[in-house]
Amino acid sequence: MKHYQYIFTGCGLSALMTVYEMIQSGKFEDKHILLLDENPKKTNDRTWCFWETKDSFESIVSLKWQKAWFKNEQFERVLDLEPYQYKRIKGLDFYNLVFEEIAKHQNIHFAIQKVQEVKDLGSHCVIKTESESYTCDQVFQSIFKPEEIKKQRTYPFLHQHFIGWFVKSEEKVFTSDCATFMDFSVAQNGNTRFMYVLPSSETEALVEYTLFSKDLLLNEEYENEIKNYLRNLGCTNFEIVEKEQGNIPMTCYPFWKQNSKNIVHIGSAGGWTKASTGFTFKNTTKKAKALVEFLYVETDLRKFHKTNKFWLYDLLLLDILAQQNELGSTIFSSMFKKGNATVIFKFLDEETSFWEDLQVIWKCPKGLFIKALLRRIF
């Protein structure tokens, strides 16, 4: 069996970002690294968006916005994001960027194989795929397995699920310099449901129907809502250029308890997704940097975990939405109606002081969160 220092099981955003950070650090050139995934990563299978004040991954950022709409049935507000910019990266562009870097390093290898089993034997790990077996010192496991989470009741588990259409319209119906962050004016039907729009011109945009809920819908339900939304915008003649579909786990489940001395769970399998919003790219960038820095000084992967105040904030929101899923629009609307957009985005990035936390929290329905906190305590 071939032996490596590090093996990545699953090759999504978290694995590729961690490998990219390893390469950028220049401190792992003497380590043999293997990435395993059944998907060759040759298609544009997703879109990532994030906000930031600096210019990271600028070479593959395809669109930027300095303003964003927030809407519901009662009001609409254009959020001035300054000093942030809201940015879009296509999945395929990110894959190509990282694999071009990997190709420059003979110590890093990628194999298109489906992982079947991962074992920590104490002195080393064994990974079995459909065609081969490997040994390694340590494993970065990013294959999400929801079975254990679904068995327990302590931590709620919701889905952020969506279908999006990249459309080209004959009518000018989009505001090209303003993204739609959340539009709750669509029928809620007992859930948290909103539209998400990323325009590239007055006639072209990604229009996405998104839910935070326990249950998924039939594909035609998402697509009928997109059709209705486009019709309400005045878009009657359009072409669907491309489609995307996704399902992001939203949970505060303590994934770190699944880690062993030589296996660390990363990505959605490690709780790297922002539990309250489902935003992934920025969180993953931070976690990957932290993991690589951790590897400089530590070998016991059980020590790579940390909870903070934002974990509790997210948990309380998910507790509320798990019991009263229709309240999502009320909670997010109260936050965005009069709140400082810059502080809100900083809060969602988990970079605020406690005083700034209070500026956001005070805008939310206090009774709901006090009751959720008391339920957690008692």
Per-residue tens of pLDDT for the chain, all 378 residues: 899 999 999 999 999 999 999 999 999 999 999 999 999 999 999 999 999 998 899 999 999 999 999 999 999 999 999 999 999 999 999 999 999 999 999 999 999 999 999 999 999 999 999 999 999 999 999 999 998 899 999 999 999 999 999 999 999 999 999 999 999 999 999 999 999 999 999 999 999 999 999 999 999 999 999 999 999 999 999 999 999 999 999 999 999 999 999 999 999 999 999 999 989 999 999 999 999 999 999 999 999 988 899 999 999 999 999 999 999 999 999 999 999 999 999 999 999 999 999 999 999 999 999 999 999 998
Q: Which residues pair with 196 in a beta bridge?
A: 208
pLDDT at position 208: 98
With contact defined as beta carbons under 8 Å apart, do 70 and 194 qualify? Answer: no
pLDDT at position 148: 86
pLDDT at position 378: 87
With contact defined as beta carbons under 8 Å apart, do 133 and 256 qualify? Answer: no
In angstroms, the CA 206 to CA 151 distance is: 36
Q: What is the pTM of this model?
A: 0.95
pLDDT at position 267: 96
pLDDT at position 306: 85
